[in-house]
Amino acid sequence: MNQSMISAAVTMGQLQHKLDTISNNMANSTTNGYKRREAQFSDILFQQINSEALNPTEAGRLTPNGIRLGSGARVSSTALSLEAGTLQQTGRLLDVALTQPSFYFQISGVDNNGNVTQQFTRDGAFYLSPSANNANVMELVTSEGNKVMGVDGPITIPADHSKITIGQNGQVSVTLNNGAIVESGQLAIVNMVRPQLMLSVGQNLQAPQDIPLNQLIEEVNAGAGNFVQQGALESSNVNISTEMTEMIQTQRSYQFNARSLTIADQMMGLVNGLR
C-alpha cells in the first residue's frame, strides 16, 4: 500500500481541525472576554524500515542504520491564548472588566447533569434578576442567568437601589433610594494558574474537569489591589487579520496535501497501467 495516501489523508483531516479552530476564533471575534485558541501540530509515528540487509556496510552513510518514515501530522493541542483583549468603555454600571490577564470571575453554573458547579468567565456583562425566594433583593447574573459569585456566596442587591458601584478591588456598594450606602459583598475573583487544563463548556464559561479545583485556581486576596474596572468590557483577543492569514495558510497546506494524495493516486494509476 502506498503510505503517501495515508499520510496525506490523515494530515488533511487534522488540518481541517485547525480550520475549525480558526473559524471558531473568527466567529467569536466580537464575543466579550473570549480567548482565542491556537492549534499546534506534531508529527506522528516514525516507522523504521531496515533496508541495509542487502549491504551491511554502506560506505558514506551519515545516519544510524535504516530509514525512518513518518506518517503525517496531527493537532497536538489547541492552546488557550491568555493575552488580554482591549477594554471597551460602555458606561453601563453592570459592565465589569478584569484588567489582569489570568483573572476570572467565578460563576455558579449548572453542568450537564444538573449539578451546581463552579465555572469561570472573563465576560463581565452582568445583569440583575429578581430573586425567586425574596422579592426585596435582586441577584447579579450573567447573560445566561447564572449567578455571579461573591466571596460569601452569590451577590445579591437590594431591590430599592438607585446606583451600584463596583470598586477596583471588586467591592460592590449599593446606594439605596433613601440615599444610604450599603455593601453588597465582594466579587469572587480567581487567578487561573492552569488555564490550559480548564474545559471550555460554551457560553463563554470555563469549567474544571477531573482535576481538583485547588490545583487549577488561586483565590485572589479580596480587597487587595485593583484589577476590576466598572463601566467597561473586555473584547476578545482575536485579531481578525492574523486569523485570516492563518486560515489562508492552512487552506494552502490542505491543497498541498491534497496534491500529494493526487500524485500518489496517479502513481497507483501508472502501476495499474503497466499492462
Count CB atoms within 10 A of the CB of residue 37.
Answer: 17
Residue 83: Cβ within 10 Å count = 11
Q: Under the criterion CB under 8 A, does residue 44 sit at the interface with other proteins?
A: yes
Pairwise CA distance, residues 252 & 246, whole Å: 10
- The span of 106-114, 134-142, 159-167, 185-193 binding other proteins (CB under 8 A) equals 185-193
Pick from 86, 143, 168, 196: which binds other proteins (CB under 8 A)? 196
Q: Would you count residue 67 as binding other proteins (CB under 8 A)?
A: yes
Taken in order 50, 259, 241, 198, the sign of the CA dihedral is negative
State the cell numbers at 214.
485547588
CA nearest to 134, candidates 167, 159, 164: 159
Task: Give the residue carrying C-alpha cell 459583598.
Answer: 185
Applying CB under 8 A, which of residues 153, 194, 221, 244 lies at the interface with other proteins?
194
For position 93 contacting other proteins by CB under 8 A, the verdict is no
Question: 4: which 3 cell numbers?
Answer: 503517501
Cβ-based nearer residue to other proteins, 70 or 153: 70
The single residue among 110, 116, 193, 244 that binds other proteins, judged by CB under 8 A, is: 193
Per-position x/- string for 3-42, each x denoting binding to other proteins as judged by CB under 8 A, each - no binding: xx--xx-xx---x--x-------------------x-xxx
Of positions 129, 191, 203, 251, contacts other proteins by CB under 8 A: 191
